[in-house]
Structure formats: structure tokens, C-alpha cells
Chain A
Amino acid sequence: MKSRKPSIPYIIWMVIFTMIPIVMIGFTAFTDSQGNFSLEAFSKAFFYTDVFIHSLWIALLSTAICLLLAYPLAYLITRMKKSSQNTVIMLLMIPMWMNFLLRIYAWVTLLQDNGPIDLALSLLGIHGTYIGNSAAVVLGMVYEYLPFMVLPIYTVMSKIDYSLIEAAQDLGSNNLAVFGKVVAPLSVPGIISGVTMVFVPSASTFLVAQYLGGTDDIMIGDVIDKIFWTDQNTGSAISLILMVFIFVFLIIMNLFGDEEAIA
């Protein structure tokens, strides 16, 4: 049997910063402000069902668009020269060196009335408002989280053994068949980690919606934040429900993949 000693610091870390907080949230969710057992927090949480569904929908949409954009991009990158691959990955990473909020502010400036996009489109005779709606929120999310989708897919794809592709070609597959029978199935683990890394944060973040959305684009993260000011019980209950939803989502995701893919 291998020694477990090296893993002890990580286990302690997990317990202190992951397990205990989750247990505390669970405990708070099932009690009232006096600390007695109560389901009141959950009944209050139901008031926010619409916000909940809206948030999950926005997250799902953002994840889907990220995947549609990232998958072909990752595939194209793997077919480049090794040196160009590094350059492109670098270019994808550079915006992430900047603060999250600053990048959102950049989009506010781009999209606002009389901003560059508005001015350019006005010259073509198109007038409109491009900020303060759900589409702007989805755009912001896709922009923020696209690298988290590209990188895992790229990593998995670049590890595919080229001899497998050659073997498929030798057996008479055309490019489409090679992609469908070899590349696509082998890249599923990357897709699964990518989807996880995009969906989970975009379901719970609220900054993007606060800056790019209108009054109807309140996200569940925003509700949790505000409710927590005065009512930890309801806040915990909503957080717990969100966690359960994300957990179920991850399980469903993993059903599509093979065992290696389980994050």
C-alpha cells in the first residue's frame, strides 16, 4: 500500500476550507435565526425561483456559446505549427492577466450609448441600445469564460496520438470520418472539464449582470449576496439549492463521458 502521508496537508486544507463551510451552510439553511430546526428558509427561497431559472438559463446559454466558439478554435490550434500554437494560447491568456472587473468595464465602455460600437453602427444607419439587456450579459459571460473552455479542450486534443489519426486514414476514412470517429470521441474529457469550468462560475456570478444587465437581469448570486446582509438562513438555503443543482448538472455531464473524465 502506498503511503498516504503526502496527502495529509491537502486533506486538512479540504476539510477546513471546503467541508466545514459546506456543513455550516447546510446547518444554517435548516435553522431559523434562533438556531432551531426550521424549513422556513427554504420556503422563502422559493420566492426566487424565477431568478434561479433565469440565472441557470443565462449560464447554460453562455456555456453553449462558449463551447461552439471554443471547440473549432481548439481544433484549429492543434493543427498549427507548435510555435504558432504557443503564440495563440498566449494571446488567449493575456486578457486574463487583467482584473475581471476592468475587463467588464471595458465592455461597458464599448457597448454604451455613443460608445464605439454604437457610433460605428449609427454611421451605417442602425440605431439601438446594446447594453442593459440579457444579450449583453451573455456576451460578457462568454468573453470572461471563453479561455476556460478553450484551454482544457486544446490540452486534451493536443495529446491525441497522431498515429491513431493516421491509422484511420489508412483504413480509408476521409477527414470528416477521422474527426467524427477519432478526434471528437477522444476530446470528450476536455469538453466536460471546459463545460464545468464555464457553467459553474457563470451560474453564480453577478458582477457581469450588475454591470452589463438591466433591471430585469438580476442573477441568483446577487440575491444571495443581498439576502446574506440580514438573513443568513435564507441566503444559505438558496446557496444550498444552487449547489445541489450544479452537482446534479455535473453528474449528468459525467454520464456522457467515460470514467477518466470525472473531474
Chain B
Amino acid sequence: MKRIISIILAVVMTAMCLVCFSGCGKSYVGEVNVYNWGEYIANGEDGLMDVIDEFEKSTNIKVNYTTYETNEQLYNMLKNSNASYDVIIPSDYMISKLIKEDMLLELNYDNIPNYQNIMERFKHLACDPESKYTVAYSWGVTAMVYDKTKLDKKPTSWEALWDKNLSGDILMFNNSRDAMAIAMQLCGIDPSNCTKEDIDIAAKKLSEQKPLLKMYVMDQVFNQMEKSQAAISPYYAGDVMVMMENNEDLDYAMPVDGANLFYDAMCIPKCSKNKENAEKFINFMQEPKIAAANFEYLLYATPNQKTFDEYLDDDIKNNELIFPSEEYLDKCYVFSDIPDDVYSHMQEQFVNIQAK
């Protein structure tokens, strides 16, 4: 008797569990593994749209979302781990490298109709001239942020970061590529295509700057500038905008002879197992409304022409920092993939400047 009761109980409990699972869990028709930069997608904060949630609702595809902090970290995961990703969003030079090493799949643009929304300039990226692998996600330029109370007039060149009058009040990129590029521009070298000798010249320029610096910064720049701890710093346009919103004394300055134009684009790596879902995701990201939500969250410029035309305020459209003029962009340079040994030399020289 006891045995019969316990069997009945077991059956009932299993049934209840099954009912519960099918009731509470959504049934997805597929999945897509997205590997993106940290804090690089509208996530429902600040009253904005939760883009991933929206995608899951409209397509019934489950998004497995993970993040990385540097292009190199992304590269290492693709190269050395068994993890499978369907959508990745690397930067310009890393895309060149991935294409060169045959690590990306060609996209089927028929599945990405929103590609036609992309601005002409970002349809033919230097890293992907035939437009086979990429759909641009966001872009921007490097610029300077400075404190109006500490500088008499708006700087017009990176030379302001070497200004002896501001000694001890200057911040600099704690990242070899961006720091070296600024020094190279000042030395008349094209940063997009540099040799080891060029790097040595730039390194010398940077070591002259070190005694004038307060700190080498990446994320610390927000606290430093927003709390008026430093006078001037180079940083990325979208982030400069954020700092300016948080401290009225700040303003931006753009070097007249151009700066670094950077962009990140969505790609599908060779290890992808859900290519069609990945293309759906990429297409969804370029819906004008979705791209607008991402733009408002990031403040990094959107390459989506329709979003620009239909969703943005005139204030932001006319903002020279976020959307510089075509003439200005023509003066800017884009990082290309430099050979491993040159990059290694660059990194080493940069560390050596700091270690001296």
C-alpha cells in the first residue's frame, strides 16, 4: 500500500514539475550567442529600451550575451577557446586582422535588408573594402576634453597636451595605440601605417610628455575631469559628451588637422553555429528605432542614416563632436592592422616610457 501511494505521489510531483516548466519557461525557436563590448548596448537603464529583450520578444530567439573589454581579449577567445559566438563587434584594426586570418564568415546581405540604412561612408570600410563581412555598429573620433576655468582658450592641436603651463594637470591615454597615434600625428607620421622607426620617434615625444602628466588614464578620466581634478585630456568623443553633461566647466576641442576615426562593426566569426539568427540579430540592430536607442545610451555616433534623419534632435545632429563634418572626417585616419612584431614593439615602448 505504502509503495503504491509513494509511486502515485512521485508521478503527481513529476507531472507538476513538467507543467510548471512548460508554463514558466518561454519556448524559444533558436538562440544567438552575442559577444560584445561591456556597456555597449541599450539595456533598459535611463528609461531607454532594453534592446536584447525587444529582440527576444519579436523573434523568439534567445540571446546569450557575454562581454569583453579589449579587442585582444576577443581575439584570444576566438583563437584559443572552444566557445562558439554568432555575433561579435570588433574594432577597425581587429576586423582587418580577423579577415586576414580567415576567421570571419561572409554575410548574406539579403538577410540584412537594413544594411541600406547605413551611411555611405560606413558601407565601404577600409578594413572590409568589398563589404563582405561587416555591418557598422557605431563610430566616433578622438578629441580633447578640457576645463574652461583652467585654459584661456580652446586648444586647436594635440600640442596642448604638451603645454608646460599645464604641467601636472594633463591626462593621457593609458593605451599604447591611442597615445602613440597622438604623438605620431604631432611628429608628422601617419599613424594608420607606422614602422618601428616611427614608433621610436613617437616614444621619444611621449617621454617628453611624461613629466608634465598627472596620470595615465582610461576609465579614471571620468572621475578626474568631472570632479575638476585635471585641466585637459584626450578621449573618445561619445565619452567626452558624457563628461560634459556631468560638469558644466568642461568643453571639447578637436585638433584641426584631424584625429583618429574609429568604428566597431558587427561580424559573424567562423565558429558560428547559428548564422541565420546572427544575421537576424545584425539586421535588428540596424532597425532605425533600435539604433536610435543604442545611440542614446552610448552617445557614440550611429552609422544608421535613417536613425540620423528620423530619430535624432537637431542639437545632436549639428554637434561637431559627435557627428563631425564630412570635411573633418576626410582628414581623420583609421587604424589598420599592423604586423604583430610592430604592435609588440609599440606596446613595449609604451610600457618602457611608463617604467622609466
Choice from B72, B340, B355 contacting A223 with Cβ under 8 Å: B355
A132 in contact with B72 (CB, 8 Å): no
Whether, in the assembled complex, A48 has its beta carbon less than 8 Å from a beta carbon of chain B, the answer is yes
A153 to B211, CA, bound (A): 42
Say whether, besides A114-B228, A210-B220, A215-B214, A231 and B355 are in contact (CB < 8 Å). no
Closest-by-CB residue of B relative to A210 is B220
Say whether, besides A132-B214, A214-B214, A215-B216, A108 and B340 are in contact (CB < 8 Å). no
B354 in contact with A218 (CB, 8 Å): yes
CB 8 Å contact bits of A147-184 with B (1 = contact, 0 = none): 00000000000000000000000000000000000000
A contact residues, total (Cβ < 8 Å): 25
A215 to B213, CA, bound (A): 7
A108 to B215, CA, bound (A): 13
Residues 203-220 of B at the A interface (beta carbon under 8 Å): 210-211, 213-216, 220
Interface segment out of the listed B100-108, B110-118, B287-295, B345-353? B345-353
Choice from B216, B223, B343 contacting A108 with Cβ under 8 Å: B223
Whether, in the assembled complex, A143 has its beta carbon less than 8 Å from a beta carbon of chain B, the answer is no
Contacts of A27 in B (CB 8 A): none
Closest-by-CB residue of A relative to B343 is A230
Say whether, besides A108-B223, A112-B227, A210-B220, A231 and B352 are in contact (CB < 8 Å). no
Contacts of A222 in B (CB 8 A): 354
Whether, in the assembled complex, B247 has its beta carbon less than 8 Å from a beta carbon of chain A, the answer is no
B347 in contact with A227 (CB, 8 Å): yes
Contacts of B211 in A (CB 8 A): 215
Distance (Å) between the CB of B151 and the closest chain A CB? Answer: 17
Whether, in the assembled complex, B318 has its beta carbon less than 8 Å from a beta carbon of chain A, the answer is no
A211 to B300, CA, bound (A): 26
A48 in contact with B355 (CB, 8 Å): yes
Max count, chain A CB within 10 A of own CB: residue among B220, B229, B343: B229
Whether, in the assembled complex, B344 has its beta carbon less than 8 Å from a beta carbon of chain A, the answer is yes
Residues 79-123 of A at the B interface (beta carbon under 8 Å): 105, 108-109, 112-114
Whether, in the assembled complex, A13 has its beta carbon less than 8 Å from a beta carbon of chain B, the answer is no
Choice from A48, A51, A211, A229 contacting B220 with Cβ under 8 Å: A211
A230 in contact with B340 (CB, 8 Å): yes
Say whether, besides A112-B227, A223-B351, A230 and B214 are in contact (CB < 8 Å). no
Distance (Å) between the CB of A132 and the closest chain B CB? Answer: 6
Distance (Å) between the CB of B221 and the closest chain A CB? Answer: 12
A222 to B175, CA, bound (A): 12
Residues 62-101 of B at the A interface (beta carbon under 8 Å): 70, 72
Residues 221-236 of A at the B interface (beta carbon under 8 Å): 222-223, 226-227, 229-231, 234
Secondary structure class of chain B's binding surface, majority of residues: helix
B351 in contact with A226 (CB, 8 Å): yes
Closest-by-CB residue of A relative to B355 is A51
B351 in contact with A227 (CB, 8 Å): yes
Choice from B70, B215, B220, B352 contacting A47 with Cβ under 8 Å: B352
Say whether, besides A47-B352, A218-B354, A230 and B215 are in contact (CB < 8 Å). no
Say whether, besides A113-B229, A215-B216, A226 and B350 are in contact (CB < 8 Å). yes
Contacts of A112 in B (CB 8 A): 227, 229
Say whether, besides A47-B355, A51-B355, A226 and B220 are in contact (CB < 8 Å). no
A211 to B215, CA, bound (A): 9
Contacts of B228 in A (CB 8 A): 113-114
Choice from A48, A215, A234 contacting B215 with Cβ under 8 Å: A215
Distance (Å) between the CB of B162 and the closest chain A CB? Answer: 14
Contacts of B354 in A (CB 8 A): 215, 218, 222-223, 226
Distance (Å) between the CB of A46 and the closest chain B CB? Answer: 12
Contacts of B352 in A (CB 8 A): 47
Contacts of A215 in B (CB 8 A): 210-211, 213-216, 354
B355 in contact with A50 (CB, 8 Å): yes
Contacts of A108 in B (CB 8 A): 223
Contacts of B174 in A (CB 8 A): 210
A13 to B346, CA, bound (A): 38
A151 to B174, CA, bound (A): 37
Residues 184-211 of A at the B interface (beta carbon under 8 Å): 210-211
Contacts of B346 in A (CB 8 A): 230
Distance (Å) between the CB of B225 and the closest chain A CB? Answer: 12
Contacts of B213 in A (CB 8 A): 215
Contacts of A231 in B (CB 8 A): 344, 347-348
Distance (Å) between the CB of A177 and the closest chain B CB? Answer: 50
Contacts of B215 in A (CB 8 A): 132, 214-215
Residues 183-240 of B at the A interface (beta carbon under 8 Å): 210-211, 213-216, 220, 223, 227-229
Closest-by-CB residue of A relative to B174 is A210
Closest-by-CB residue of B relative to A218 is B354
Residues on B close to A: CB < 8 A? Answer: 70, 72, 174, 176, 210-211, 213-216, 220, 223, 227-229, 340, 343-344, 346-348, 350-352, 354-356
Known A-B contacts: A132-B214, A214-B214. Give 11 more (CB < 8 A).
A47-B352, A47-B355, A105-B223, A112-B229, A114-B227, A215-B214, A223-B351, A223-B354, A227-B348, A230-B347, A231-B344
**3 interchain residue pairs of minimum CB distance:** A230-B344, A230-B347, A51-B355
- A to B CB contacts below 8 Å, 25 in the list: A47-B355, A50-B355, A109-B227, A112-B227, A114-B227, A114-B228, A210-B174, A210-B220, A211-B220, A214-B215, A215-B210, A218-B355, A223-B351, A223-B354, A226-B176, A226-B351, A226-B354, A227-B347, A227-B351, A230-B340, A230-B347, A230-B348, A231-B344, A231-B347, A231-B348
